[in-house]
Structure 1
Amino acid sequence: MKDSNSTPPAWDNFSKFSTLKIYFTDSQDSAKADIFANGLNQVGVTVLANAIDTSDNPLPLNTEDYAGIIQLVDYSTGAELGYGDTTTDDGVSYSDESNYYSNPLAYSSTLPTTTVTEDGDVLINFYVYSSKNITNKDIAVRVTPPGFDAVDSTASGGNPWHISLQALEAINYGDTSNLYIQDSEWSTLHSGIMWCVWNIGKYNYNNASTRWKQIQILPVTYNNYTMAFINSNNKFEYDGFLNESNICTDGADKEWIVPHSGNDSTSQMVACIDCRADDSNSYPHITCWGVNITNAEWGVDTYSNHESDKNRPCFTKGKWEYALDVEDTKQTLTTQLSNAEGCITLYCLDATIPADGGSDINQEHWADICKPVTVTVFDTYGNTGTIVITFGRDSFEPAITGQ
């Protein structure tokens, strides 16, 4: 029924819809899509509408002519889905705008192919999401042309057509069973390191080496689907980076280990730990950790307060002074790094004396200098969670706990 007082000119001769359908934008032949019920994961849907006039000719309409008069509704009941900030009891909503997480986990079942070729075909895009688990939600479309009664594709309407949605339980990465740590082999950074020990003018040289490796924290697979984090969306919170000014000091005893990150003055080194040997022969052995390194060159610059060796990498404790010297060239201990995609990337830099050298060295252990890192991650489907990464002497793997 027409209300001539409220009908804009574009709809003036409206008679009916020759086509009114809804389908998945990226999989037109699919009848069902699976998303995660986290309120972020979306699936794109498209409404195809073709309005004709009383002479069965297509009305010259465009997407803007459908603004405010089209709704996504429950196929069985006709109730509107939540829109924007409006929610419904079952948690299923839709929006005009896509986000980072507009991709379903899977499509299934089939529908007849929807062909968009006719004059008058208008496409209107929406994005459906859910904040609650739901096994099946059948979704139809309703259009209320200005001045006319509503027309819909519900089960009781004149153009029955729908698609279906399943909203799966969201993955919580604060539950660390949903994560795993992928270790890697050590790579030698420099095999010509000399470990120098001074004590009131006396020193010994012992063969040493430095090595590094990359460690990744990744999401586990989900029903055989590979999951991945969106690196640019992950949020890192540090209790300050390590730098020359905040390395532990104890009276006159100093430990100089200055993080190196190219030309960037903001270091991303978060831990510096002395790792003791398990047996009685404890050899000098120090490990540095970096998280979320964004600079290609990373490592340590270290300095000596020994008057004759100003540029030597040095760790000082009491009357003993320990230094790493790269073949007497005083190079920094750095390497070229590149973060992996889809995970949290950590780097471990380790310097040690082999077990068969320098057992007479009088090592006094350095205190742990360790900054835990809190990370909130988001995968490509909008699943999220917060973890805390810590480092310790007992392992060359970090520890992760949920928050």
Structure 2
Amino acid sequence: MSTWTSVSKLSIVLVSGDESCDIYANGRNRIGVMISVAPTDEDGDPIEVDPDHLLSRLWLIDYVTESTLNWKGSSGWCYTDTENAFTSTPGLSGERAEASFDDDGTQLVTFYVYCAPGVSPKSIGVQVKTDCNDTIKSSLNGTYQAKIKLNPRTAVTYELADVDWDYAHTSTKYGDNTKYVTTDAWNYYLSLKSVENYFVTFSVSNYFGRSEYDGFFSSHIPPDSHRKNFYGGYVWHSEPHGSAYYVENDGRSEAEVVNFPDGNKWWDYAKIYDRSYPERYLCFSWVHSTTGGDGWHIPNGPLTAWHVWSHPEIVAYDRYGNSGTFWVDGGDIIEGLKLCDSRP
């Protein structure tokens, strides 16, 4: 049985085919790099190495010092074998790392490089250890000299001036076609104000999580007009946005606005994520509903007071892992939804 003793080829290149590119130094942006290695046996003939075994025998190294990068680390220059939501270089996103065997005996392995804030530019080579424990390097003084260079950019923190906070009237399933209640709703959309970049994921906290009230974060039923007016705020946080709220029979995305099973016998559904590329936005809804008779009833569902609220916190991430943290002021709901970049 042949033994893996050497390689006839060892090179490294970005998955884009380039030798250098920028990377955001935020610990999240990942850049795919492709390693080409051609294992050979004791006679110099090509030999196939098990893909998982090959992955375990490869390391990314500093091209000059030959020190290894941090495997799945959290400081300095690091690398891993999986992509994430922020694996992006201009015009290309990486794929999950795996080895494959080509007809010419070359096997390909993809790693993903990332870096923490404060690092300097890095030239990166590769090191492989054969089954006879011989180490072969692509480095300044190695057997091979292929390398890539990554140039860190300062991480970006987004503020209110960097985002759009648009709102527009939206339809509800029942609207004013109800016996007891009329409903009016507006959607607010948080997005990145950029031509080439956009948000790709959102982390949201501080809202009611019960299924029939999921996303509900604020309500106010003022004493005027015998408490006939209900004002509510909702954040539609489930991802992926394009399918999490999609109703196949209706051909639209909709979400239940808080229902009142006691006394008023009312609930409704607001049309949400009614824009192209819904994954690039975070949708909120502001609802104003009125009822006749002796007004709204409490306790009802999660409502135990006429004014109930929290301040949802949103961390929005762009395609490179840069982020901004925002809050919506749930305490001031009657006039609509207000976005803040500091906690209300």
TM over 0.5: yes
From 196, 206, 218, the equivalent of 1:237 is 206
Q: 1:82 is matched with which residue?
A: 70
Query: What secondary structure does 2:3 align onto?
Result: helix
Q: Which runs of 5+ in 2 are unaligned?
A: 93-100, 239-244, 246-253, 292-304
CA deviation profile, 1:229-251 (whole Å, cap 9, x unmatched): 325xx24223x47xxxxxxxxxx
Q: Which residue of 2 aligns with 1:34?
A: 22
How much has 1:213 moved relative to structure 2? 1.6
Determine if the alignment matches structure 1 residue 94 to structure 2 residue 102: no
Moved over 6 A (4+): 192-195
* Equivalence for 1:399: 339
Task: Find the counterpart in structure 1 of residue 3 from structure 2.
Answer: 10
- Do the aligned residues in 2 keep the contact of 1:10 with 1:61 (CA within 8 Å)? no
Matches within 5 A, 1:217-296: 217-221=190-194, 224-230=195-201, 234-238=203-207, 240=208, 264-273=211-220, 286-292=230-236, 296=254
Q: State yes or no: 1:299 paired with 2:257.
A: yes
> Partners in 1 of 2:118 and 2:233 — Cα distance?
40
Give 1:48 deviation, angstroms.
Answer: 0.8
Structure 1 CA distance for aligned equivalents of residues 313 and 58 of structure 2 = 44
CA apart distance, 1:382: 3.1
Is 1:334 the counterpart of 2:281? The answer is: no
Which of 11, 15, 21 pairs up with 2:11? Answer: 21
The match for 1:346 among 267, 271, 284 is 284
Check conservation: 1:171, 1:383, Cα contact below 8 A: yes
Q: Equivalences for 1:39-188 in 2 at 5 Å?
A: 39-53=27-41, 55-85=43-73, 87=75, 91-96=76-81, 98-101=82-85, 103-106=87-90, 117-134=102-119, 136-147=121-132, 149-173=134-158, 175-185=159-169, 187=171
- Per-residue CA deviations over 1:358-377 (Å, capped at 9, x if unaligned) read xxxxxxxx964332222344
Question: How far apart are residue 33 of structure 1 and its match?
Answer: 3.2
CA distance in 1, matches of 2:40, 2:237: 59
How far is the alpha carbon of 1:215 from its aligned partner? Answer: 0.8
| CA distance in structure 1 between the partners assigned to 2:18 and 2:46 by the alignment | 27
Deviations 1:159-194 (A, max 9, x none): 211112233222335x44443312123547635789
Root-mean-square deviation (Å): 4.0
How far apart are 1:276 and its partner, in Å? Answer: 11
Which residue of 179, 183, 201 corresponds with 1:210?
183
CA distance in 1, matches of 2:143, 2:131: 19
In structure 2, how many angstroms separate the alpha carbons of the residues matched to 1:265 and 1:300? 7
Q: 1:375 aligns with which of 314, 320, 327?
A: 314
Identity in percent:
18
Return 5+ residue gaps in structure 1 as ranges: 1-7, 109-115, 196-207, 242-260, 278-282, 305-310, 314-330, 354-365
Give deviations 1:327-354, integer Å, cap 9, x for gaps: xxxx73523434442332111112479x
Deviations 1:106-150 (A, max 9, x none): 269xxxxxxx84432122232211112556322111223344543
Verify the 8 A CA contact 2:176 2:182 in the aligned structure 1: yes
Q: Confirm or deny: 8 A CA contact 1:34 1:107 kept in the other structure.
A: no
Instruction: Check conservation: 1:136, 1:166, Cα contact below 8 A.
Output: yes
- The more displaced of 74-83 and 264-273 is 264-273
Write the letter of the residue equivalent to 2:314.
V
- Tell me what 1:389 maps to: 328
| Higher Cα Rg, which structure | 1
Shift of 1:293: 6.5
> Which residue number in structure 2 is paired with residue 319 of structure 1?
none
C-alpha change, 1:64 and 1:267, in structure 2 (3 Å) is: closer
State how many pairs are aligned: 305
Which residue in the other structure is 1:203 paired with?
none
In structure 2, do the counterparts of structure 1 residues 333 and 118 end up closer, same or farther at CA, with 3 Å as the change threshold? Answer: closer
Report the counterpart of residue 250 of structure 2 in structure 1. none
Q: Which residue identity does 1:236 align to in structure 2?
A: S
Aligned partner of residue 190 in structure 1, secondary structure = coil
- For the 8 Å contact 2:204–2:315, the answer to whether it is kept is yes
Measured against aligned partners, the alpha-carbon deviations of 1:368-397 in whole angstroms (never above 9, x if no partner) come to 433222234444433345432114257423
Q: Distance in 1 between matches of 2:288 and 2:70?
A: 54
SS in structure 2 at match of 1:341: helix
Residue 190 in structure 1 maps to residue 148 in structure 2? no
